[in-house]
Amino acid sequence: MSMTSTAAPSPQTGAVKVAMLISGAVFVLMMLVGVLMRAAQGDLLDLDPALFYQLMTAHGAGMVGTAGLSGAAIMWYFLGRHVALTRWVFHIFLALFLLGVVLILGAIFLGGFGAGWTFLFPLPAISGGAWDLGAAAAFLLGLVSIGVAFLLFYLEAGRAMISAYGGLGNALGWPLAFGGSTENAPPPTIIAAATVTVFNTLGIVVGAAVLVVSLINLYLPEFAVDALLAKNMIFFFGHVFINASIYMAVIAVYEVVPEYTGRPWKSSRIFALAWASTLLFVMAVYPHHLLQDLVMPGWMLIMGQVISYLSGIPLLAVTAFSLIVYLKGSDIRWDLAAGLLVLGVAGWSVGSVPAIMDGMISVNKVMHNTQWVPGHFHIYLLLGEVAMAFGFMAWLVRGDVAQSRFTTLDRLGIWVYIAGAGGFTLMFLISGALSVPRRWAVHMEDWLTQDRIATGFAVLAVLGALIFVLRFVGGLGRSSKA
């Protein structure tokens, strides 16, 4: 393999477009899977419960993985504007990611694996005959492959940022955050990318450890490890990973919005401080996923609740507030990309409200196993990360800014998507508030109406997404951005 590395920073457009094409296609496909599940719950469709759980596992793994992929592609693209990245690393990243996808799909649809994407120990080993060890091993190996892909990705990102800024501390913007030094302050992209690189590398190392332990347990069951520790590690990894996808995607907002407003997005001291606090909080907050585990040490659960209030809020506030300030008073020409990116920040903000409520111990006690929880994370993702990813895709093929137009189809797509995704997630929240359980393949008579309304909204959201992806595919041919 030739190891040609670029001497000067330049974004790797071609490979990033491929990654976004895969992301867009998988997003739509997995949304369709979601529609199937909601339709089955609404008794509009006769789905074998075993298949329901396979679909749920595929939907979870597919969506989390693709959120990660699209976020990573965004980060790679814009990081390439500031530092020299080794191009083949992104090719290996894509190859390993696809290998993982193949293994996971095989495990689910050939092997019948349906233990949920969180592979909660020791569930993969105890299938009650629904799947054999090979299927569980293939699923875990698929996750390992994706983990390795991301590890290489972050190692190269870290290497490039360290060599350009002289240490991770500088790339994180710590001199700016803690010393107020604006000299050589890194741009927002670097601060965000460095933060994600640090915490997600840690998350992946922890995740790799628990995956390997689970694999060993499959074949050597006498090595039964502490299930609570395993759960802690899995949720540390899972929480950090899915948050990383949003934090990577928001880089698109920092880089693209200035093209519309004409004002550069600058790294202020508050901005650097917000990211510094995010680095700490995103890793310390994960116990809020384990509030129902009464054997957890009390202080961890309390920490989980308290940091839930803090986590992400400074960053979200800084980002959303700055965005409003930048947009206000600027003569912005809206188009699909700008609309979706702003929608992403709005969805991210709105999603934090039910999330914080769910992070309260007293609320979580009754809400945790209801559809409230999928409600909040679907707002985060569907209206947040995924919207940002679609916005980035639209921007990638937008062509020249002066000729960019907000077509009727674009407007229709956005409004259909907002209505669909908004209604769909609202139904989750309503059902959750009415104590409809999550993860049930078959629903009671009383819940069917809500399920059917949600299915209708979900179809709308898929239609919107389909418009965005088809616009992207159509734009690929004639795009001129290099």
Give the residues lining the site for another protein (CB under 8 A): 3, 5, 7, 84, 86, 89, 148, 151-152, 155-156, 158-159, 162-164, 166-170, 201, 204-206, 208-209, 212-213, 216, 222-226, 229
Distance CA 6, CA 289 (A): 42
d(CA 214, CA 125): 8
Task: Pick the closer one to another protein by CB: 11 or 24.
Answer: 11
Please enumerate in sequence order all residues whose Cβ is within 8 A of that of 227, keeping only pairs 6 or more positions apart, or say none: 121, 122
In whole angstroms, how close is the CB of 92 to another protein at the nearest point?
9
Estimate to the nearest angstrom the gap between the alpha carbon of 243 and the chain centroid: 6
Structural contact between residues 44 and 459, judged by C-beta atoms closer than 8 angstroms: no
Residue 185 φ then ψ, to 5°: -65, 130
Q: Which is nearer to another protein, 151 or 242 (CB)?
A: 151
Q: How far is the CB of 14 from another protein (least distance, A)?
A: 21
Number of Cβ within 10 Å of residue 49's Cβ equals: 12
| Assigned token pair, 12 | 């790797």
Provide the minimum distance between the beta carbon of 227 and another protein in the complex, in angstroms, as a whole number.
10
Task: Closer to another protein by CB, 95 or 205: give it.
Answer: 205
Q: Which lies closer to another protein via its Cβ, residue 49 or residue 221?
A: 221
* Closer CB to another protein, 72 or 381, in the complex: 72
Backbone conformation region of residue 436, classed left if phi is above 0, alpha if psi is from -120 to 50, else beta: beta
Q: Smallest Cα–Cα separation from 75: which of 170, 200, 259?
A: 200
List, in sequence order, every residue forming a beta bridge with 437; answer none if it has no partner: 370
CB of 337 to another protein, least distance (A): 32
For the bound state, the minimum distance from the C-beta of residue 101 to another protein, rounded and expressed in Å, comes to 21
Angular region, 259: left φ>0, alpha ψ -120 to 50, beta rest? alpha
Q: Least distance in Å: CB of 168 to another protein?
A: 5
Nearest CB to another protein, comparing residues 83 and 387: 83
CB 91, CB 32: distance < 8 Å: no
Query: What is the four-CA torsion angle of 163, 169, 171, 172, rounded to 10 degrees?
Result: 160
Nearest to another protein of 85, 421 (CB atom): 85
Q: Shortest distance, CB of residue 89 to another protein, whole angstroms? A: 6
Minimum distance from CB of 166 to another protein (Å)?
5
Query: Is the Cβ of residue 96 or residue 373 nearer to another protein in the bound state?
Result: 96
Token pair, residue 16, equals: 């990033």
Distance (Å) of CA 429 to CA 298, 343, 377: 28, 20, 10
Give the integer Cα–Cα distance in Å for 342 and 383: 10
